[in-house]
Amino acid sequence: MLIGIDLGTSSVRAAVVDEGGRIQGLGQQEYPIETPRPGWAEQDPEQWWRATCLACREAIVRAAAEPSDIAAISFSGQMHGTVLVDAAGRALGKSIIWADGRSGALAGRLNQALGEERLAELAGNRVAPGFMAATLGWLGEQEPAELARARWALLPKDYLRLRLGGDPASEPSDASATLLFDVRRGAWSGELTQAVGVDGALLPPLARSTDVVGRLSAAAGAELGLLAGVPLVAGAGDQAAQAVGNGVMVSSVASCTIGTGGQVLQPLDAPHADPQLRVHCFCHALPNTWFLMAATLSAGLSLRWWRDTLGLPAEGAYEALDREAERAGIGAGGLLFLPYLLGERTPHMDSGARGAFVGLGLEHSRGHLARAVMEGVALSLRQGLDIMASLTLPPDGLVASGGGAKSRLWRQIQADVLGKPLRTVRGAERAVVGAAMLAGLGVGVYADFDQAREACVHYGDTVTPDRDRVAAYNRLLKVYEHLYPALLPVYVRLAEIRALTADNPSITAEADSDS
């Protein structure tokens, strides 16, 4: 048996997985995103730890597994975030996660200083707020004493592995998403760390995703209900892990994930960055493999926000919204939604963008708004897929992943908006399964990635795009693409007002006389 742990943004999932990739026991624990100021996003590493202990114990009980059954543990995790730890491995405070926007101005300065051409050559990506490079740069300017206390700057899953008894380490799939990493050389970049003003000694040693980088400590084993000494395998960032769990390992197959965020991911056999840096180019968990990725920050999070805004109980809420959204029909009665609740990455790379319903009328019900949210997320992902198609051969089809894949309606919307057949994989929690596959590869359960895929990845039904609906969504896309440029001046003005009211809460913002 293997254990995969996926440290997500909203919750941690732990699963006991057999050698055929079947989940025998699953545990899950939620935790909040803290927003102490507008645009900030933090989480408490201690909450991650407590949640992981509970989730692992739950998974082991549900699997009816003995501690001695577990051969290895590996990890998947939310990417980009930063955890500062001291020499003893203790977290020095809250983790600034990927959704944080406080470093937006600094990220802009770094992009301008380095230039698109050099960033594409070195990092394969634009510096974005919430990425470790921008976060460490911000800490160096705003909280230098805190940064000086740190021995290591770790990514979230790497902190969790350290807490379990692992060595300070990272691996290419997650490290390449820090923007401190040379994607071609597969190493930390002195040029990038120098540009950010970060001491390269803060960054941990690098391993492969399938390397054993420590063993479960006695103290952590007692917390998790496991024996000390279980091998801890490096793991991968959540997108690389779900790609492994979905069998997305060659360029002819891409994945479309709707979790908290949304991503379209397509593997590459060589790094090929977008010259305009609208999509990401990261390292895969497989050796000598990379991937292009388009990212929408608020995908499933947008629908969760709508659910919570309506005050619906978690149990049965999404099923109810699905039924109402299906009745609303294509185009949601002339209503469009921009899913920029946390700003946006692909294609705009703008932390100041904000969500919007456009075309709202008295005739619209909550089902129309739910449908608009689903379609808005899919249209945002379509923009990313179109950019990727300009850089490499488009995939033959996609694999649906994440919580959004549970919705038959949302899968059909994705297939119709993206214009590609959309397959599912039998069995849920593919990032967790991908982490377990990496654990198995690390201790020799599988000889190589091909054998792991054959053993663990079994495809289910396929949703086929409908020609008429594809044509309708292509027309809708043309309208959708006009909205961000049209609203950009409004975003700038609103950002000024937000900054004013954040610094002076008693001020009532009023429009200028000429607005």
238 annotated active-site: yes
Strands 72-77 and 236-237: parallel
Alpha carbon distance 233, 210 (integer Å): 6
DSSP one-letter code for 259: S
- 261 residue type, one letter: G
Contact 436, 453 (CB under 8 A): no
Answer whether 253's CB lies under 8 Å from 392's CB: no
**Distance of alpha carbon 77 from alpha carbon 132, whole angstroms:** 14
DSSP state of 167: P
- What is d(CA 229, CA 217) in angstroms, rounded to the nearest whole number? 6
Nearest C-alpha neighbor of 440 from the set 231, 289, 285: 231
Q: Angle at Cα 344 formed by Cα 341 and Cα 350, nearest 5°?
A: 115
Kindly give the pairing relationship between strand 262-268 and strand 290-296: antiparallel
Q: Which of 158, 174, 238, 350 is catalytic?
A: 238
Q: What is the dihedral of CA 49, 14, 436, 420, to 10 degrees?
A: -110
Q: CB count, 10 Å around CB of 144?
A: 11
β-sheet bridge partners, residue 2? 17, 72
What 3 state SS string does 262-307 have? Answer: EEEEEEECCCCCCCCCCCEEEECCCCCCEEEEEEECCCHHHHHHHH
- What is 340-367 written as a DSSP string? -BTBB-TTT-BTT---EEES--TT--HH
Query: Which amino acids are annotated catalytic?
Result: 238
